[in-house]
Amino acid sequence: MYDSRALRQFVGIDLGCEPVPDETTICKFRHLLEAHKLGERLFARIREYLAKQGLKVSRGTIVDATIISAPSLMKNRTKEQDPEMHRTKKSNRWYFGMKAHIGVDSRTKLIHSVAATAANVHDSQVLPDLLHGQETREWGDAAYSGQRHVIRQHAPGATSFVQTKTNRHRPLREVECTRNRTKSKVRAKVGMCSW
């Protein structure tokens, strides 16, 4: 919330008047939402509202994930480290916390699916939860490469536009680099930094 003015506006926090809630408060709130299954119900109501306003999910889905850092000293009620949070390494840096996975409509930029996992859960493991099944196109970064069978199973009509993974033993050909740049332009429309 310190990094995103849009997020602060969404939750109604003015840093000039009040601090951002600490991680423990946010974690307790998340557990309350989970315990009462309010997250799913709120998300369903938002989708209903948007559909009534004429904003509907189209045929393309962009999938992505981001790490939500938490202090590694964060403890739960039993004074143990929260078992839902784990360490993971990304770009030669270690993080502790959770990961937010989203499925976003490629045309309207509406988030139609969300999943939260421990940070060490690979992005591709959550892919089935991010597809609504009616896609004709699906975009994702290289973390989702090798998942064509999952896409076929959960969105049979979808063509995969997942980034081609680079390999240190075989560099990408120019045509693969060009395709990756084109795919990145679509994915960049809803980059994780914007939410």
Q: Is the pLDDT of residue 183 over 60?
A: yes
State how far the Cα of 124 lies from the Cα of 165, in Å rounded to an integer: 13
Q: What would the two tokens of residue 20 be?
A: 């951002």
State how far the Cα of 183 lies from the Cα of 67, in Å rounded to an integer: 22
Residue 139 · residue 106 · CB < 8 Å: yes
Residues 34-63 have pLDDT tens digits of 888 888 788 788 778 877 887 777 788 889
Q: Is the pLDDT of residue 194 over 60?
A: no
> Which pLDDT value is given to residue 90?
84
User: Could you give the domains of the chain?
Assistant: 56-194 (3.30.420)
State how far the Cα of 148 lies from the Cα of 138, in Å rounded to an integer: 10
Residue 135 · residue 103 · CB < 8 Å: no
Residue 62 · residue 104 · CB < 8 Å: yes
> Which pLDDT value is given to residue 171?
83
Q: How confident is the model at residue 10 (pLDDT cuts 50, 70, 90)?
A: confident
Residues 102-154 have pLDDT tens digits of 998 888 888 888 888 989 999 999 999 999 888 988 989 888 988 989 999 99
> Which pLDDT value is given to residue 47?
76
Residue 99 · residue 118 · CB < 8 Å: yes
The better pLDDT of the pair 191, 184 is held by 184
Residues 56-88 have pLDDT tens digits of 777 888 898 888 877 766 565 666 666 777 888
100 three-class SS:
strand
Q: What would the two tokens of residue 36 be?
A: 């009462």
Torsion of CA 82, 84, 87, 89, to 10 degrees: -160
Mean pLDDT (whole number) for 164-173: 81
Helices 23-35 and 38-52 sit at what angle, rounded to 10 degrees? 80
pTM here? 0.72
